[in-house]
Amino acid sequence: MKKNNPVVVAVDLFCGAGGLSKGLEKAGVQPRLGVDLDPYCEYPYTRNNNAKFSLKSVDKIQPAELQTAFKDADFSLLAGCAPCQPFSTYSQGKDKDERWGLLNNFKRLIIKARPDLVTMENVPGLVKQSVFAKFINALESEGYSTSYSVVDCSDYGIPQRRKRLVLLASLLGPIKLDSPRHSKSSYKTVRDVLGKLEPLRAGEGSSTDSLHQAATLSPLNLKRIKVSKQGGTWRDWPQNLVAECHKKLSGKTYPAVYGRMSWDEPSPTITTQYFGFGNGRFGHPQQDRAISLREGAILQTFPKSYRFLPPGGEINYKRLGMLIGNAVPVKLGEVIGNSIMRHVINYQPGS
């Protein structure tokens, strides 16, 4: 092991399309295995990352599988972005901790496999749940130093307003996420990353990039987007275009749908339905359409070369929206990776 070039090997649980793994790789961490239940994750994960993929539920993973993946590493990293749905219909009537079964399985694997390092990215609301306090207490009782914070991705050079909980833990010593380097005056904007892409009409696709494809718009929604302002809402429309549900008192408090993004600000949070004009403020700042699948991926800081489908693969908006919208932004993964690499260099013997 070289002091300034340690080999840090990662296993990425709930890996999805590979946003976190790609970011870790850019920082010098070596992702070796991604684990996910969704078979549609396998192609983008293995096509874009130098790692294997295991189609498996995390509750079926055994510690020995992780230890095999960590073989020959100077330091081992277990990453997990457990989908947390504590308020789902399924969870009603269940014990509170059962609602967070995936998180508890992540905890099980940490305790049994004892990786040197741990990272987790999750929804901000998790920090208020008792299960999170139990998670932290369990790690600290096993000798891990922990730190966590809710971050706004735009503070880290990501052209998107996206708040996420980021946790780091280490057996080596105190660890923390690198401090933000951006403020409002230096935020990456929609214009910065999408301004030079090929123009499209609603329902059109690029001849050179199959993912740069925009969903169709109904005649009514085409009229609506034509009168929509950058950063505005449906409240800017003529009354005859406003949806009946928004005319009711209960609907007047939901303005963050049917809107255009602003060129000179970060985008709103990219969700799994970002390709639909009516699903949020996902209208293109200038063109009369929702943003394309590729544009959403770029706002999630996936490289333009990132491939989500094999050649000739079917463009399924819902499926691709899930892969891209649920991903950890690549740039956030890189920030996490840089924080970890600096940490292991500082805590090596003789440092």
pLDDT value at 349 more than 90: no
Report which residue type is found at 38: D
- Report the distance separating Cα 324 and Cα 160, nearest Å: 14
- Report the distance separating Cα 75 and Cα 140, nearest Å: 19
pLDDT number for residue 102: 87
pLDDT value at 251 more than 80: no
Residues annotated as catalytic are 84
Both tokens assigned to 347: 């805590």
Read off the pLDDT of residues 38-88 as tens digits, 9 standing for 90 and up: 999 999 999 999 999 999 999 999 999 999 999 999 999 999 988 765 433
pLDDT tier for residue 344 given thresholds of 50, 70 and 90: very high
Report the mean per-residue pLDDT for the chain: 91
Count CB neighbours of 305 within 10 A.
Answer: 7
Q: Classify residue 283 by its DSSP letter.
A: B
Q: What is the largest CA-CA distance in the chain?
A: 72
CB 205 within 8 A of CB 233: no
- Report the distance separating Cα 295 and Cα 299, nearest Å: 6
pLDDT number for residue 255: 62
Both tokens assigned to 180: 């933000």
Report which residue type is found at 210: S
Reference 261, options 191, 164, 185, 211; nearest CA is 191
Count CB neighbours of 276 within 10 A.
Answer: 20
Both tokens assigned to 57: 């539920």
Determine how β-strand 8-13 pairs with β-strand 30-36: parallel
pLDDT value at 290 more than 50: yes
State pTM to two decimals: 0.93
CATH number belonging to domain 8-182+328-346: 3.40.50.150
